[in-house]
Structure formats: C-alpha cells, structure tokens
Structure 1
Amino acid sequence: MISAGLIAGSIIFWSLKLGIGPTPTSSKVRSSIRRIIPDDVSGEIIELGCGWGHLIPILREKYPSKKIHAWERSPIPAIFTQGVYRIEVKRDDFFKANFEKAGFIICYLFPGAMERVEKEIIPQLPPGCWILTHTFSLSKRVPVKTLKANDLYQTQVYLYQTPL
C-alpha cells in the first residue's frame, strides 16, 4: 500500500513539475505512426519524453540497426521503460542536450514543450532531420505529411523535415 502511494505520488509530482503526465500513445495512433514513419534516417534516433515506452517497439522494428536514445524525466515511467524494453533512458532535461547528430526525433509533448522544441532544438538539427509528433503540432512549421489516426479524436500525426 505504501509503495503504491509512493509511486502515485512520484507520478503526480513529476506531472505537476513538467506540466504533463506520462500519457501513453494509443494503439490506433501507434498504427498511424507505423504508416508515416520515415524509411531513410541517417542520424541518431531520439524519443523525447518516452513515458512508458510504447513507441520503443515501433522504433526498434523500423530501425533495427540503430541505437535509440530515449529521454524521460519522471522516474517511475523511466524505470519501467528501462526495465521492460531494456533500453537506457536518460533522465536529464533534453532541452540541455546536443542534437547535432539527430536523424529522427519523435515526441508526444504538450503545446508549451512543443514551442520550446521549435525554438531550442530544431535550430540545432542537421539538414534533412525528420521530426514526428502527434496530437500537438509544431505551430511555426509546415508538415511534410500528416495522417489522421482512426480513433475517436481523429488524432493528427505530423511528419516534418528540416530543410536539406
């Protein structure tokens, strides 16, 4: 009982601190991601805010020879993802990271974080880097491709690419 309370308390604390909880990507949105994800990626594969790790299998399936870099600040989902998917999860603030070697970034972040991605991360990205988001778009960019998930909300999946 105490463990469940500590786990719940940790998730609530980090949700309030970060402005969003570790929300899983639904299976229908994951299906859309499988259909839109780029084939040709030359740099590192990076998931920003991996939460419970539901996108890790898609990334591994699509890019079996590439190392996936996962980031999650909330400790319980990070530990879960690391244990279940046997992947290193960085618990640092990804806004302080260097993305010069990125080839593909995938994220499901709240609108405020998406604004920061546009301002702070995208300028670091190499030409041709792919960015995939869902639910929340990059407001100052035009996607290369969009797809609507076949779910209740018709969730949008957005694929962007930095200029070549």
Structure 2
Amino acid sequence: MESLIYQVVLMAVAAFVLVAVLLIVYASWRNGISPMPSSAPVRRAVVSAMRQLPSRGVMVEAGSGWGTLALQAGRAFKGWRMIGIENSVIPMWISSLAAKLNNQANVSFIRGDLYTYCYRDVDMVVCYLYPGAMRRLSVIWRSQLTPGSHVISVCFALPDWEPQQVITCRDFYRTKVYIYAA
C-alpha cells in the first residue's frame, strides 16, 4: 500500500513538473525568448543606476520573467512600488511567491502583455528583453512615458534613443546596461 501511495505521489509530482515545463516552453516559443534571470553583477549595476536617478514612485519590470530585477530593486528601494509584468504563468507565480516569502509588500507581479500595458503613470521601466521587443517598445514608451521618466535596459539598446549613460558590468559577458531619459 505504501508503495502505491508513493508511486501515485511521484506520478502527480512528475505530471505537475511536466505541465510546468510545457507551459514555460509554450510561452517561450510564443514570446520568441525564454525567461532569463539577470546575473548578480547585472542586478547590482541596475540598482546602482537607479540610485543615480531621481526617485519618484512606480517602477515596472517589463517582461519580468523570474522577477530577479524587481525583487532586488524592491529590497533596495522600499519607498518605490515595483510591478513586474510577465505573460508566462510559471515564472510569474514563482516571482509572486518569492515576493511574498521575502515579505516584499512593495513588489507585485501581474500576468500581462508588456506591449499593451499602460506606461503613462510609470516613473521607471527596467527590462532585459531582446532586439525585437526593444523595437516595439521604443514606439510605445516614446508616446506613453512622461518627461522625467527613465528606462534602464539590460543588454539591448533602444533603437533611435540616445542613452544618457551606458554601464559595462563586471560579469563574464561584460553586459551593457543602457540608461535613457524619456
């Protein structure tokens, strides 16, 4: 009997893991990119860049994936409201759980489309995306972000935007972090 219970539990766990992996693979295929966590040196560079900018109130991590940028920024800037937008269910749930377990009331994650999200009341956007997304978001952010807002992009530049600053991280890839004013 114990063997049967063990097998049923094992099969249920295996089924859950399989469904979770399939959901991530499907969302990655649909998005054209998989959720990729930022390295610790990159997260530190982003937080350092945020410290140099005027602090106001709402930061959005567009395409938050596993939420590593929003979670680290939330620890550093308790007065800010951090919102992660992610359309892949599993990374979004894990990010939300991490925020709750770390008691980060100023950090939340929503399931949504970063191309249809309204950025009009956002003071800062942080992202680690890919060139195609940056092209699409460039137009959206130019029309929606208010003067004084900032965009911090990991690895990929915004086309037709002039960065205020480019930071080269001390990681293996020498990752660039681009800082833009809206």
Matched-pair identity in %: 27
Relative to the length of structure 1, the TM-score reads 0.92
5+ residue gaps in structure 2?
1-13, 101-106
* Structure with more of its chain in helix, by fraction: 2
Aligned-partner residue type, residue 20 of structure 1: I
Residue matched to 1:117:
137
Where do 4+ consecutive residues of structure 1 move more than 4 Å?
none
Aligned length: 162
Residue matched to 1:42:
56
In structure 2, C-alpha distance between the alignment counterparts of 1:56 and 1:91, rounded to whole Å: 14
Greater relative CO, 1 or 2 (CA 8 Å, sep 6+): 1
Retained in 1: the 8 A contact 2:36–2:65?
A: yes
Q: 1:52 aligns with which of 66, 69, 73?
A: 66
Aligned to 1:65, the other structure's residue is in SS state coil
Residue matched to 1:78:
92
My pick for the range that moved more, 15-24 or 64-73, is 64-73
Deviation at 1:34, TM superposition (A): 2.4
Residue matched to 1:139:
159
Deviations 1:74-132 (A, max 9, x none): 00000000111124322121221221111111001111111111012231110010100
Residue matched to 1:104:
124
Deviation at 1:49, TM superposition (A): 1.0
Retained in 2: the 8 A contact 1:69–1:89?
A: yes
Aligned to 1:94, the other structure's residue is in SS state coil
My pick for the range that moved more, 104-113 or 87-96, is 87-96
Aligned-partner residue type, residue 81 of structure 2: K
Computed over aligned residues only, the root mean square deviation of the Cα atoms, in angstroms, reads 1.4
Relative to the length of structure 2, the TM-score reads 0.83
